[in-house]
Structure 1
Amino acid sequence: MTVPPMPSEPAEPIEATEPPRPERIEASGIEPDLLGEPWVARRIPVTPAPEAAVGDHAVLVHQRQAGGRHDRAVLHLHGRSDYFFQTHMAQAFLDAGYEFYALDLRACGRAGIGLPSPHDVRDLRVHAEEIRRALRIIRSEHGHGEVVLHGHSTGGLQAVIWAADHPGTVDAVVLNSPWLDLRGTALVRSYGSALVDLISRRWPDRVIDDPGASRDKPDVYVEALHRDWSGEWDWDLRLKPFPAFPVRAGFLAGVRRLQRRVHHGLGIRVPILLCCSTTTGSPDADLEEAKRSDVVLSVEQMIARAPFLGNDVTVRQIPDGVHDLSLSGPRAREEYFAAVTGWLAARLG
């Protein structure tokens, strides 16, 4: 992501098309999920906050029989302009003896349907409320004794901040290409961040990066992965859209504040596994390069930031991995799942 010298004008509100709402089946807020059986979605009310886009709930997704099969569990946090749909990833954890839960955070994914600016959260720490409530459901209601926090991209940044701020609440952290720094030169990261901070104080709604402003075809990452173009995955383009939701100054300033916290050291006390590709894709990557490298973030920055997370950090690079390692080609994603489940078996027993 690059920072322009001046902000663009605010984008028009995005008109969200709501998918058919499933029939409510329980008064507790559990409904059949859009993924179909055996997946269900549980609405988690949250307190509206000025640091977040308008939104009053998050959504916890899990299989209907969760709570009775495995003592251990995984809680997954999605990336920006994303939502949980990777059921094959969930199956890898289930096969390894971990019940799987995914949290669509407030104003994001399932919880962002109908909002004028999904994912526009000015301080990611506001998500602590729904993470806390999700963990309470997983541990207290469903009876899981050990919980692993799994985060992708922005969700990876969210995961390490949670683990640092709430010691003792999770037993391990697994990161899938975490967003621990702003991609770009040192000049962009320093002066660009200062500019974003300045803009955000007065114009938090200003668009810093609008992926849809200058092109009418998918970016190479989407083209490489989605079934409508050259990929094998069929995610809902309303919830993980092309173009991606615009990045606004308030959101990016909030991300940079947390990334600076990472740079100062988090001191996380539980074991951490950081997985990423072996290769950072070039800014003008072609389709073939996009299918075997991370064209979204810098692999080198992730590795450089790993020692700042805690004293027990393992880094595992996946050849031919893409930004979301779970969406890589067959060999790379199987290596990713094997690396994660093998590491968990070694560290948690």
Structure 2
Amino acid sequence: MSEPQPSASSQVPLLWQPDALLGESFDQAKLGPATLVRHVPAGARPEPRAVVLHVHGYNDYFHQAHLAHAFDRAGHAFYAVDLRAAGRSLRESQVPHFVGDLREQAADIDEAARAVRELHPGLPLVVHAHSTGGLTAAWWAHARRNTLPDGSYRGPDLLVLNSPFLDLPGTLFERTVGTVLLRIAAPASPHRVITSGPSVYATHLLAANGGRWEFDTRFKKPGGQPTLALWMRAVRRVQWHLWVRGFRIPVPVLVARSDASGPDRHDNPRLDEQDTVLDVEQIARRSRSLGADVTQLVVPGAVHDLSLSADGPRTEYLGKLFAWLEERL
């Protein structure tokens, strides 16, 4: 399959306005079909050591203000992108998260990376990406492995993948024969529902249900976001490329995950200490095909988004992430 192509450089200035979802110390600006969010720390700050771009996953958007504050305390400028049809970027006519080709979302990452590099010229770019965003960001980094004819490099300088969606949980039949059938049938029925149902994971995280975190349930739905045929085909095409051919990401990659997976059910007593969305062993296996310099970080007791884990695992994740950045920067 063809790889994402570089976006054309734009001279249109970003029009920043206060971010209504996170409020004080956050701004947002439209970036084509996507939305760029920035953290604006109060008071004087030393020159940042790097600029971080966060990429969310499926049934998700950027809401982790504490993550931005943590990167700020570690000395890094922080930005996040809400991809097209997600979160702040969702339009009334759109099906949430629905794209027929991950090159569309890769183009959003490309444009966001270009924008933050222009805002912070000369600083290393760290892309921090979660779940499906981790898959798309890894593919984008693979596609950006070479310099452009003008000698510029458009990929990340460091890539952090937080529980990336590198393979489809399920049986071997579902992941092979099922994928072939999906590839044939999806164009004819692009909106056919492949899976649906509540997200016990999101339900458990929400403060209103006794969890730790506040988020807008229009954009991260406890009721779940159905997966549609053409979207799933787009995901499987990129995962298949990783499985069969591998990626050649030219920069250091940190792949972080929980130490255990479990069922996404209310009767799971370990909902607060397992990845109940993806298979962590699959993440471990597939991450070996990302590039030549891949470090695996296993965080005991973490949930699917390690940055939303309980205090202990979350502190361990961020501490080891920042130590890795210090070493590699």
Task: Give yes or no for TM over 0.5.
Answer: yes
Q: Partner amino acid for 2:272?
A: K
Asked if 1:134 is matched to 2:112, the reply is yes
Asked if 1:63 is matched to 2:36, the reply is no
Say which SS state the counterpart of residue 317 (structure 2) adopts. helix
Structure 1 residue runs of 5 or longer lacking an equivalent are 1-26, 46-56, 212-217
Q: 2:63 and 2:81 mapped to 1: Cα distance?
A: 11
- Equivalent of residue 273 in structure 1, options 234, 248, 254: 254
Q: Partner amino acid for 1:110?
A: R
- Equivalent of residue 202 in structure 2, options 199, 216, 222: 222
Post-superposition Cα deviations, 1:260-297, rounded to whole Å, max 9, x if no partner, equal: 11112101110000000000113546353111000000
Q: Relative to 1, partners in 2 of residues 1:65 and 1:87: Cα closer, same or farther, differing over 3 Å?
A: closer
Q: How does 1:153-232 map to 2 (within 5 A)?
A: 153-167=131-145, 168=153, 169-211=155-197, 219-232=199-212
Q: Partner amino acid for 1:184?
A: G
- Equivalent of residue 313 in structure 2, options 329, 332, 338: 332
Say which SS state the counterpart of residue 288 (structure 1) adopts. coil
Which residue of structure 2 lines up, in the alignment, with residue 36 of structure 1?
23
Post-superposition Cα deviations, 1:153-210, rounded to whole Å, max 9, x if no partner, equal: 0000011101100124211100100000000111111122122212212111111112
Q: 2:267 and 2:143 mapped to 1: Cα distance?
A: 40
Kept in 2: contact 1:223–1:287 (CA 8 A): no
Q: 2:264 and 2:206 mapped to 1: Cα distance?
A: 20
Which residue of structure 1 lines up, in the alignment, with residue 50 of structure 2?
72
Aligned-CA RMSD value:
1.8
Asked if 1:240 is matched to 2:220, the reply is yes
Post-superposition Cα deviations, 1:213-249, rounded to whole Å, max 9, x if no partner, equal: xxxxx54312321111131111100111122222110
Say which SS state the counterpart of residue 186 (structure 2) adopts. helix
Q: Partner amino acid for 1:75?
A: L
**Residue 107 of structure 1: CA displacement?**
1.1
Structure 2 residue runs of 5 or longer lacking an equivalent are 1-12, 146-152
Asked if 1:121 is matched to 2:99, the reply is yes
Kept in 2: contact 1:149–1:173 (CA 8 A): yes
Q: 1:174 and 1:314 mapped to 2: Cα distance?
A: 10
Post-superposition Cα deviations, 1:305-336, rounded to whole Å, max 9, x if no partner, equal: 01100011010110100001011000000001
**Residue 144 of structure 1: CA displacement?**
4.9
TM-score, normalised relative to structure 1: 0.83
Kept in 2: contact 1:30–1:41 (CA 8 A): yes
Q: 1:220 and 1:137 mapped to 2: Cα distance?
A: 36
Count of aligned residue pairs for this structure pair: 305
Q: 1:43 and 1:219 mapped to 2: Cα distance?
A: 29
Q: Relative to 1, partners in 2 of residues 1:282 and 1:241: Cα closer, same or farther, differing over 3 Å?
A: closer
TM-score, normalised relative to structure 2: 0.88
Kept in 1: contact 2:59–2:225 (CA 8 A): yes
